[in-house]
Chain A
Amino acid sequence: MALTTIGTAARQGATAFTRQRRDFAGGLFKAVILLSLIVSLAVLAVLIVDTVADGWAQLSTRAWDFLNGSLRSRSIDDKLGVKQGLYGSLWIGIIVAASAFPVGVGAAVYLEEYAPKSRWSSIIELVIRNLAGVPSVVYGLLGLFLFVERSTIFGFLGLGWLADATGGRSVLSAGLTLAVLVLPIVIITAQEAVRAVPTGLKEGAYGLGATKSEMVRTQILPYAAPGILTGTLLAMSRAIGEAAPLILVGAISGGLTRNPDVWDTSGLREKFTALPIIIVEWVSERGRDPGFATAAAAAIVVLLVLVLLMNMTAILLRNRFEKKRG
């Protein structure tokens, strides 16, 4: 009698554990959050598909001419294209890499390896973190102030030569402005890469008699190189896609050399345009000539290919090395 009671209780207990009660609320919750992820990704898909579809008329028939053409006043012009923008964006990328990369890596190594853990270095870190959050237009104002406008206050500080050296509204000014804009990104990602270097490697180098700079050169930089490269690539793609600071620094959309030679550095101190600026310009011209909407979409495809290639390379690079080092 007592045994059977225990048996029934046990059986009931077992069913209580195994019975699959439907968890509607939980299922609904999961569905909702999954939906929010899917919506985010669907937006990305729609954006890309819609843009490619819009620009197809240009890209399918005359992709090469479009890459080689220049800014024109009518959208059906068969010399219409983005070469001047490519020239500007390419040089902006080069200038950003050449200036933000050494400064950013140097700063990262300093903060991680050299800086005494003092109030002073924590102030520098705070400054860098806040610089990363400054809106890009504000950097545009800085560029305008430093490189373009010869403000009287600045001449007083003895820095008026900056505007002369950069040629005012030029690719050089734009590149330097964007280098300053992406500098915090380079520093922060490089810092993470430097921090990840195992202490054993550093101590090994010291044990063999290396000085600090030798240790940095032979151990830290090679080990952190993939991470640093990832950060630099992300920074460059950010710089190439950025438009607001360029508008402030004074990118224009006309009055340029028709067909710039890509490696011609004499144009660096002259008026310029860039891919994002061309897109903005063509979007605004579509009221006058609807064909410019197609041209803008095609220019976006060109920009997206550039930016996404850089981003994807960076992401793949990072994932590969993360996996390798576990």
Chain B
Amino acid sequence: MNEAGSAELSIEALSGSPRRVRRERIISRAMFCTAFVSVVVSALIIYALFAEAWIFMRDVDWSATWGQIGWFPRRGIYDMPTLLVASLWTTAIAMVVAAPLGMGAAIYLSEYARPSHRAFFKPILEILAGIPSVVLGFFALLWLAPNVVAHIGGEGGRGSMLAAGIGVGILTIPLVASISEDAMAAVPKSLREASAGLGARRAVTTLRVVLPAAVSGLVASLIVAVSRALGETMVVFMAGGAADAAIKTYSPYDGSLTMPAAMASLASGTDQVVGEGLTFQSLFFVGLVLFMLTLGLNLIGDRFVARVREQY
């Protein structure tokens, strides 16, 4: 039908040279593979966590994970409430620091700041976001503890959940600020103008119009920040005031280990992660609990962010 040299156009002639088509297909497959890497990584994370945690859950004497005096993994005592209480305290303290400061900064930048001020302040907040957590750990232990914690009833000479919590809070300020600011920026200008047209002052417009309209984004910023604070490792590891084991305590003035800090302390030290029986597996068990908690929070946070996008 389609002889060589024929001037007639056919479907084959329009589909391009077969070499080119083949190359396109190969490139598109390769691209798909790079995108698929993320799925593989997720699957491996879940597989690694479950595979090792399963061994822990199968072999552990469950009475060792509840109602013990504390977290002593190398002695076979894996009291989960110790870690959960410490995680709750540091996260709560972090939120007390980060929620007002982060949201306040976001409201100022989004509703009040002149463009020139915004252009000045915004990059500085972004720099704060880029500070490594070891630096905050150092700062929490050697500056916040003696200069802040010592004045609100704690001891200045050593780390505590309070010092670590404030440090984690500082670390999450930029996160709260940036998500909240995005949420407020998504509120249509017409709402603000309508409010101003009715005679509302800027503060009233902000509090009664912009914030209610942006509320799901603000909630999302807090949820994501809680998830981040729960997973923060180095600040608590360095400034949390507990080395490789922790006695159960309900006071934020004491030192303790959060879930990620317990994992880091278990993995550091001279004998690395080798230890009594299930020590290695306990690492993955704690990791699984932490992963599930943060994943749940992130999914909820995602829902809230999506709601903002749908509305406007």
Measured CB to CB, the residues of A under 8 A from B are: 23, 25-26, 29-30, 32-37, 39-41, 43-44, 46-47, 50-51, 54, 102-107, 109-111, 114-115, 121, 123-124, 127-131, 133-142, 144-146, 149, 151, 153, 169, 180, 183-184, 187, 211-213, 234, 237-238, 240-244, 247-248, 250, 276, 279-280, 283-284, 293, 296-297, 300, 303-304, 307-308, 311-312, 315, 319
Check B30 against A142 for contact (C-beta < 8 Å).
Answer: no
Check B132 against A303 for contact (C-beta < 8 Å).
Answer: yes
Check A133 against B130 for contact (C-beta < 8 Å).
Answer: no
CA distance in complex: A134, B228 (Å): 8
Contact indicator per residue, chain B 275-310, by CB within 8 Å of chain A (1) or not (0): 000001001100100110011011101100000000
CA distance in complex: A303, B297 (Å): 31
- Nearest residue (CB) in A for B132 is A241
Check B139 against A50 for contact (C-beta < 8 Å).
Answer: yes
Knowing that A41-B121, A241-B133 touch, tell me 9 more A-B residue pairs with CB under 8 angstroms. Answer: A47-B143, A51-B138, A130-B298, A137-B231, A137-B264, A140-B267, A144-B283, A151-B51, A304-B131
B28 surroundings in chain A (CB, below 8 A): 110, 114, 212-213
Interchain nearest-CB distance for A55 vs B (Å)? 10
Check A23 against B49 for contact (C-beta < 8 Å).
Answer: no
Check A134 against B291 for contact (C-beta < 8 Å).
Answer: yes
A279-B134 contact given A145-B52, A311-B127, CB 8 Å threshold: yes
A300-B134 contact given A26-B202, A130-B298, A135-B231, CB 8 Å threshold: yes
B102 surroundings in chain A (CB, below 8 A): 36, 40
Check B237 against A280 for contact (C-beta < 8 Å).
Answer: yes
Check B203 against A25 for contact (C-beta < 8 Å).
Answer: yes
Check B34 against A138 for contact (C-beta < 8 Å).
Answer: no
CA distance in complex: A54, B142 (Å): 10
- Nearest residue (CB) in B for A242 is B132
Which of A134, A142, A149 is within 8 Å of B295, CB to CB? A134
Contact indicator per residue, chain B 217-245, by CB within 8 Å of chain A (1) or not (0): 00000001001101111100110000000
A284 surroundings in chain B (CB, below 8 A): 238
Check B135 against A36 for contact (C-beta < 8 Å).
Answer: no
B93-112: which have CB < 8 Å to A?
Answer: 100-105, 107-109, 112
A137-B260 contact given A46-B143, A110-B32, CB 8 Å threshold: yes
B131 surroundings in chain A (CB, below 8 A): 44, 47, 241, 304, 307
A133-B224 contact given A211-B16, A212-B28, A244-B234, CB 8 Å threshold: yes
Check A247 against B37 for contact (C-beta < 8 Å).
Answer: no
A213 surroundings in chain B (CB, below 8 A): 23-24, 27-28
B173 at the interface (CB under 8 A from A): yes
CA distance in complex: A151, B47 (Å): 12
Q: Chain B interface secondary structure, helix, strand, loop or mixed?
A: helix
A-B contact pairs, 26 of them (CB 8 A): A30-B112, A33-B112, A37-B104, A40-B128, A41-B121, A43-B128, A47-B135, A106-B31, A107-B34, A127-B42, A130-B42, A138-B45, A144-B273, A151-B51, A213-B23, A238-B130, A241-B134, A241-B135, A243-B233, A244-B233, A247-B264, A247-B267, A279-B134, A283-B238, A284-B238, A300-B138
- Nearest residue (CB) in B for A146 is B44
Check A29 against B234 for contact (C-beta < 8 Å).
Answer: no
B134 surroundings in chain A (CB, below 8 A): 241, 243, 276, 279-280, 300, 303
A138-B121 contact given A130-B299, A144-B273, A183-B38, CB 8 Å threshold: no
A138 surroundings in chain B (CB, below 8 A): 45, 49, 231, 287, 290-291
A128-B127 contact given A30-B112, A145-B48, CB 8 Å threshold: no
- Nearest residue (CB) in A for B232 is A135
B170 surroundings in chain A (CB, below 8 A): 40, 43
B137 at the interface (CB under 8 A from A): yes
Check B52 against A151 for contact (C-beta < 8 Å).
Answer: yes
Which of B35, B234, B260, B267 is within 8 Å of A144, CB to CB? B267
Check B130 against A308 for contact (C-beta < 8 Å).
Answer: yes
A36-B105 contact given A41-B121, A129-B302, CB 8 Å threshold: yes
CA distance in complex: A296, B301 (Å): 37
Check B127 against A248 for contact (C-beta < 8 Å).
Answer: no
Residue from the set A107, A137, A234 with the largest chain B CB neighbour count within 10 Å = A137
B92 at the interface (CB under 8 A from A): no
List the 8 closest A-B pairs by CB distance, nearest first: A135-B231, A36-B104, A241-B132, A106-B34, A26-B203, A244-B233, A110-B31, A133-B298
B295 surroundings in chain A (CB, below 8 A): 130, 133-134
Interchain nearest-CB distance for B292 vs A (Å)? 10
B231 surroundings in chain A (CB, below 8 A): 134-138
A37-B109 contact given A137-B264, A144-B267, A300-B138, CB 8 Å threshold: yes
A51 surroundings in chain B (CB, below 8 A): 135, 138-139
A44-B290 contact given A110-B32, A212-B24, A300-B138, CB 8 Å threshold: no
CA distance in complex: A138, B107 (Å): 33
Check A311 against B126 for contact (C-beta < 8 Å).
Answer: yes
CA distance in complex: A235, B126 (Å): 14
Which of A33, A106, A242 is within 8 Å of B108, CB to CB? A33
Check A134 against B38 for contact (C-beta < 8 Å).
Answer: no
B312 at the interface (CB under 8 A from A): no
B194 at the interface (CB under 8 A from A): no
A296 surroundings in chain B (CB, below 8 A): 138
